Amino acid sequence: MATTSDELATAPLDVEPMLPTPYRIQRIRQETDDTFTLELVPADSAEGFSFAPGQFNMLYVYGVGEVPISISSDPSDAPLIQHTTRVVGTVTKAMRLLKRGDMLGIRGPFGTHWPVEDATGRDVVIVAGGIGLAPLRPALYRLMAQREKYRKIVLLYGTRTPEDILYRHELEHWRGKFDLEIQVTVDRAASSWRGNVGVVTTMIPRAPFDPSNTAALICGPEVMMRFTAMELQKRGVASERTYLSLERNMKCGIGLCGHCQYGPVFTCKDGPVFSYDRIAALLGRAEV
């Protein structure tokens, strides 16, 4: 019997969670000016792992440090995995300098996942902001692989400028399949841009889905997720069927160190994917 993503996410890790597994960089793809994707395969003697959409790994650049990054590849491609990240700090800067054939240490996969199985029989609305599209990409692959199980699938994607659009070719490919509605908007653009301009939340009121039977998956900057969740609620999507992926300072990945504590939860273990009704009261609170 096939293992479901739910079983995967709840199964105990069968490897020592604090021990990095060596992975080799098979390919590096520059996505945008400051964003790149690493394609990784287990090094010669190492075993790979399967993962559920929305889970993350701790990526270790040897001698520099470790960072939590969501897996952005198709779960059915495992043990090959991809991580898309932006150059923001010391570790990701060092990561960007790595070359094909170089090694990385990986711990994971950690955390909760997008509830793609629970969305069976419903419309699925995916709202992504900026690099937030990366953690949602495995969910899109999974949904498209089992397309007949879902009603409408709508992707609303907002980013900074047309140059910052992630996975551009893939989005064009999916758009061409006609069973996935994709709407892209940017915050600002030159007059040559033929698409939408405005924040992603403005696309929600007229997006084609039935709010009474919809599961919503949101990932992006926290302020964007807050406003998106509110707009979805205004449209009538149930808060318990609205899911967000939070980003915090994950360190151990297994709920021991407390670095990623978010009120009563640990983001690495209880998240990163939470239902909106569970964390709505915490979002936007300065003390948390």
Taking the least distance from each CB to other proteins, the nearer of 117 and 187 is 187
Span of 14-22, 64-72, 215-223, 266-274 interacting with other proteins by CB under 8 A: 215-223
96 counts as binding other proteins under rule CB under 8 A? no
Would you put residue 284 in left (φ > 0), alpha (ψ -120 to 50) or beta?
left
Report which residue type is found at 43: A
135 counts as binding other proteins under rule CB under 8 A? no
Taking the least distance from each CB to other proteins, the nearer of 102 and 187 is 187
284 counts as binding other proteins under rule CB under 8 A? no
190 counts as binding other proteins under rule CB under 8 A? yes
Beta bridge partners of 186: 159, 197
Select the residue interacting with other proteins from 39, 123, 164, 270 (CB under 8 A).
164
Residue 18: both structure tokens together: 């604090």
Question: Least separation, in Å, of the C-beta of 277 and other proteins?
Answer: 23
d(CA 35, CA 88): 9
Residue 271: both structure tokens together: 């998240």
Span of 56-64, 155-163, 247-255, 267-275 interacting with other proteins by CB under 8 A: 155-163
Span of 9-17, 19-27, 101-109, 191-199 interacting with other proteins by CB under 8 A: 191-199
Residue 111 CB-density burial (10 A; 0-12 exposed, 13-18 middle, 19+ buried): buried
Residue 161: both structure tokens together: 């400028």
Edge-to-edge strand ranges of the sheet holding 273-275: 196-197, 181-186, 153-159, 123-129, 214-219, 242-245, 273-275
Taking the least distance from each CB to other proteins, the nearer of 21 and 72 is 72
Looking only at the bridges linking them, the beta strands covering 35-42 and 21-32 are antiparallel
Span of 37-45, 66-74, 83-91, 144-152 interacting with other proteins by CB under 8 A: 83-91
Q: Reduced to 3 states, what is the DSSP secondary structure of residue 215?
A: strand
Taking the least distance from each CB to other proteins, the nearer of 109 and 129 is 129
Q: Give residues in contact with other proteins (CB under 8 A).
A: 34, 86-88, 129-131, 158-160, 164, 185, 187-191, 193-199, 201-202, 205-206, 220-221, 223-224, 227
